[in-house]
């Protein structure tokens, strides 16, 4: 990563289109992939949740992972970030294998994901949430041990936490319980927590879910600022306006497989994508194309 992600605002410079010229076909090779995955499979009983032959994520882009309910988006996120185990497959981040690593080890390599705040986290202050995130994405079982290890790194971590809370306009909330934050503020905290480990790639799980429409623009600005600061963003989202509005590239999953990839215009006009959404009984078909209803 070339610049400090704690910069308060997105730099005022044009962002190069890093997905220009890439052919819109499933599994297409990218000129400068930060993440490469091959043969990623995961079944639950008889159900194949994920069956991805090849996926590359281009460095420095905002890439959306979309698909109807049950398509396998969350499972793929969990697998790539070490929060679930593949049945088979290999994947690399920055050319190094992540196979078999736990979530916190993946985060320390620089690929970090956001999580909805768990109950335990909502009972901690905003600042303690940030300090805990600095330890990497460990399970709550390890909380006690980590609390004791805080002292050494604490000063540096506090400084970084304050910078990030200022960036996300949460600095006045630092001593409040995370559970008292609004839906949008929680999303901001989830993003701020992810940045504590200075990642090169951030994976956002439904960053707009439960957010008041008034805060959507601000959140979108923060997501594009991550990319403009040099990070790669991969996100799962259902809101088609958001997806079409900020994505450089879109990967479409259906029944565990990548059925389409391309820039927003490619995806909007892709009949296979429209069919996949039309075939999913509990999704709104109009949403598949991002058309006004």
Which residues bind to ligand ATP, rule: CB under 6 A?
A: 44, 47, 49, 67, 69-75
Q: Which H/E stretch holds residue 223?
A: helix 213-228
Pick from 48, 58, 24: nearest CA to 263: 24
Which positions ≥6 away from 135 have C-beta within 8 Å? 104, 146, 149
CB-based contact 243:213 (threshold 8 Å): no
Q: Which is nearer to ligand ATP, 75 or 135 (CB)?
A: 75
Q: Which is nearer to ligand ATP, 146 or 209 (CB)?
A: 209
In degrees to the nearest 10, what's the CA dihedral of 17, 80, 88, 272? -50
Instruction: At 116, give phi and psi (nearest 5°).
Output: -65, 145
Report, in Å, the least distance between residue 53 CB and ligand ATP. Answer: 17
Report, in Å, the least distance between residue 251 CB and ligand ATP. Answer: 12
CB-based contact 41:55 (threshold 8 Å): no
Partner residues linked to 41 by β-bridges: 51, 88
Report, in Å, the least distance between residue 32 CB and ligand ATP. Answer: 27
Instruction: At 88, give phi and psi (nearest 5°).
Output: -160, 165
DSSP, res 53: E
Q: Which is nearer to ligand ATP, 128 or 255 (CB)?
A: 255
CB-based contact 240:248 (threshold 8 Å): no
Report, in Å, the least distance between residue 150 CB and ligand ATP. Answer: 33
**Cα separation of 106 and 54, whole Å?**
20
Report, in Å, the least distance between residue 104 CB and ligand ATP. Answer: 20
Report, in Å, the least distance between residue 48 CB and ligand ATP. Answer: 8
Report, in Å, the least distance between residue 81 CB and ligand ATP. Answer: 13
**Cα separation of 76 and 49, whole Å?**
8
Half-sphere exposure of 184 (CA within 13 A, CB side): 13
Q: Which is nearer to ligand ATP, 192 or 251 (CB)?
A: 251
**Cα separation of 101 and 168, whole Å?**
30
């Amino acid at each position: 990563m070339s610049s400090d992600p704690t910069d308060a605002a997105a730099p005022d410079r044009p962002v190069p289109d890093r997905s220009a010229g890439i052919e819109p076909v499933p599994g297409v090779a990218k000129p400068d992939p930060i993440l490469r995955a091959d043969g990623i499979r995961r079944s639950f009983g008889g159900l194949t949740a994920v069956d991805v032959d090849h996926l590359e994520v281009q460095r420095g882009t905002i890439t959306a992972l979309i698909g109807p309910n049950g398509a396998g988006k969350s499972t793929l996120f969990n697998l790539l970030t070490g929060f679930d185990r593949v049945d088979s497959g290999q994947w690399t981040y920055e050319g190094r294998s992540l196979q078999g690593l736990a979530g916190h080890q993946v985060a320390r390599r620089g690929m970090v994901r956001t999580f909805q705040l768990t109950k335990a986290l909502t009972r901690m202050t905003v600042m303690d949430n940030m300090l805990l995130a600095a330890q990497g994405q460990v399970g709550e079982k390890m909380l006690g041990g980590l609390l004791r290890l805080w002292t050494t790194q604490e000063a540096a971590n506090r400084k970084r936490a304050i910078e990030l809370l200022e960036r996300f306009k949460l600095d006045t909330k630092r001593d409040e319980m995370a559970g008292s934050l609004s839906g949008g503020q929680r999303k901001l905290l989830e993003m701020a927590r992810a940045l504590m480990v200075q990642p090169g790639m951030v994976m956002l799980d439904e960053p707009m879910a439960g957010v008041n429409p008034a805060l959507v623009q601000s959140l979108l600005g923060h997501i594009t600022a991550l990319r403009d600061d040099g990070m790669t963003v991969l996100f799962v989202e259902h809101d088609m306006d958001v997806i079409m509005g900020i994505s450089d590239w879109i990967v479409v999953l259906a029944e565990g497989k990548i059925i389409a990839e391309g820039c927003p215009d490619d995806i909007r006009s892709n009949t296979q994508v429209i069919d996949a959404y039309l075939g999913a009984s509990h999704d709104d078909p109009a949403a598949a194309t991002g058309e006004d209803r």
